[in-house]
Chains A and B, each alone.
Chain A
Amino acid sequence: MRTFIVSCLLGIASMLSPAWGQEVTVAVAANFSAPAQKIATAFTAASGYKVNLIVGSTGKLYAQIKNGAPFHILLSADDETPARLVKEGAGVAGSPFTYAVGRLVLWSKQTGMVDAKGEVLRGPFERLAIADPKLAPYGAAAMEVLDKLQLRSQVQARLVQGESIAQAYQFVSTGNASLGFVALSQVMVEGRVAEGSAWVVPANLHAALKQDAVLLSGAKGNPAAQAFLSYLKSEPAQAIIRSYGYEH
Chain B
Amino acid sequence: MIPISAEDFGAIRLTLRLAGTTTLVLLCLATPLAWWLARSGSRWSPVVGAVVALPLVLPPTVLGFYLLVSMGPQGAVGQFTQWLGAGLLPFTFSGLVVGSVLFSLPFAVQPLQNAFEQLGDRPLEVAATLRASPWDTFWHVVLPLCRPGFVTAAVLSFAHTVGEFGVVLMLGGNIPGATRVVSTQIYGHVEALEYTQAHWLAGGMVVFSFAVLLVLGWLNPRGSRLRP
Contacts and interface: CB of A to CB of B under 8 A. Distances in A.
B169 interface: yes
Contacts of A57: 191
B192 A134 contact: yes
B169 A163 contact: yes
Contacts of B148: none
A160 B91 contact: yes
Contacts of B175: 159-161
Nearest to A62: B193
Contacts of B69: 174
Contact of A59 (B68, B73, B193): B193
B49 to A, nearest CB: 31
Contact of A163 (B68, B88, B188): B188
A88 to B, nearest CB: 11
A162 B175 CA distance: 10
Interface in A131-182: 132, 134-135, 159-163, 167, 170-171, 174-177
Nearest to A57: B191
Q: Which of B174, B175, B192 is most buried by chain A, counting CB atoms within 10 A of its CB?
A: B174
A160 B173 contact: yes
Interface residues of B, number: 21
Contact of B173 (A59, A162, A175): A162
B70 to A, nearest CB: 10
A134 B188 contact: yes
A110 to B, nearest CB: 10
A8 to B, nearest CB: 30
Contacts of A174: 68-69, 72, 74
Nearest to B174: A161
A176 B68 contact: yes
B111 interface: no
A175 B187 contact: no
A174 B65 CA distance: 10
Interface residues of A, number: 23
B226 interface: no
B192 A135 contact: yes
Contacts of B211: none
A59 B190 CA distance: 8
A163 B190 CA distance: 12
B29 to A, nearest CB: 25
B172 to A, nearest CB: 8
A178 to B, nearest CB: 9
Given A174-B68, A174-B69, A176-B71, A63 B190 contact: yes
A132 B188 contact: yes
Contacts of A210: none
B109 to A, nearest CB: 29
A26 interface: no
A152 to B, nearest CB: 15
Nearest to B70: A174
B68 to A, nearest CB: 6
A176 B173 CA distance: 10
B191 A175 contact: no
A143 to B, nearest CB: 13
Contacts of B91: 127, 160, 176-177
Nearest to B184: A163
A168 to B, nearest CB: 9
Given A163-B169, A170-B68, 10 more contacts: A59-B190, A59-B192, A127-B91, A129-B173, A134-B188, A159-B175, A163-B191, A171-B90, A171-B173, A176-B71
Interface of A: 57, 59-60, 62-63, 126-127, 129, 132, 134-135, 159-163, 167, 170-171, 174-177
14 contacts: A59-B191, A59-B193, A132-B174, A132-B191, A134-B191, A135-B192, A160-B174, A162-B174, A163-B188, A163-B191, A167-B170, A170-B68, A175-B72, A176-B91
- 8 smallest CB-CB distances across A and B, nearest first, come from A160-B173, A59-B191, A161-B174, A175-B73, A174-B72, A176-B90, A135-B191, A176-B72
